[in-house]
């Protein structure tokens, strides 16, 4: 995964996190998971990511989230979370709308 792709992932993640905290007061684990699944499927559909990079990108996002909650998720659990995110084909455009405003 290229540095530019990682920067896009990081930038969009931070934008979504700020939006959620400002509007909902938090960016909980379930919301993070829904965001990560939809965002990665959007990036694959838009050719920002290849399907072979999706798992790596899922782990990258999981690590960003973990850093934001003071690294309380173990490495083993991060791997499992990345697997689940990468395997889900859901794409919720409404959830991603704040990224495009």
Q: Give the pair of three-digit tokens for residue 96.
A: 């991603």
**Which residues span the domain enclosing 13?**
3-92
CA gap 92, 83 in Å, rounded: 19
**3-class secondary-structure state, position 85:** helix
Structure tokens at 3: 């540095």
Residue 60, in any domain of the structure: yes
Question: Quick one: DSSP state of residue 69?
Answer: T
User: What confidence tens digit (pLDDT) does each residue in 72-98 have?
Assistant: 999 999 999 999 999 999 999 999 999
Both tokens of 14, joined, read: 């931070």
Task: Note whether 73 and 66 are within 8 A (CB).
Answer: yes
Residue 98 lies in a domain: no
Per-residue pLDDT at 53: 98
Q: Enter the tokens of residue 9.
A: 């992932």
Domain assignment present for residue 100? The answer is no
Dig out the tokens for 99 from the structure: 């990224």
Residue 45 covered by a domain: yes
Two tokens at 45? 């559909």
What is the tally of structural domains in the chain?
1
The predicted-structure confidence for 17-76, as pLDDT tens digits, reads as follows: 999 999 989 999 999 999 999 999 999 999 999 999 999 999 999 999 999 999 999 999
In a domain, 32, yes or no: yes
Q: Is residue 97 part of a domain?
A: no
Can you give the three-state secondary structure of 8-26, one letter per residue? HHHHHHHHHHHHHHHHHCC
The reply to whether 28 falls in a domain is yes
pTM assigned to the model: 0.95
Which phi and psi angles does 39 have, rounded to 5°? Answer: -60, -45
Residue 87 lies in a domain: yes
């Amino acid at each position: 995964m290229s540095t530019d792709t990682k920067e896009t992932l990081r930038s969009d993640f931070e934008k979504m996190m700020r939006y959620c905290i400002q509007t909902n007061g938090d960016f909980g684990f379930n919301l993070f998971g829904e965001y990560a699944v939809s965002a990665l499927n959007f990036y694959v559909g838009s050719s920002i990511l290849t399907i072979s990079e999706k798992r790596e990108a899922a782990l990258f996002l999981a690590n960003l989230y973990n850093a934001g909650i003071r690294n309380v998720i173990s490495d083993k659990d991060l791997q499992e979370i990345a697997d689940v995110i990468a395997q889900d084909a859901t794409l919720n455009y409404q959830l991603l709308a704040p990224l495009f405003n």
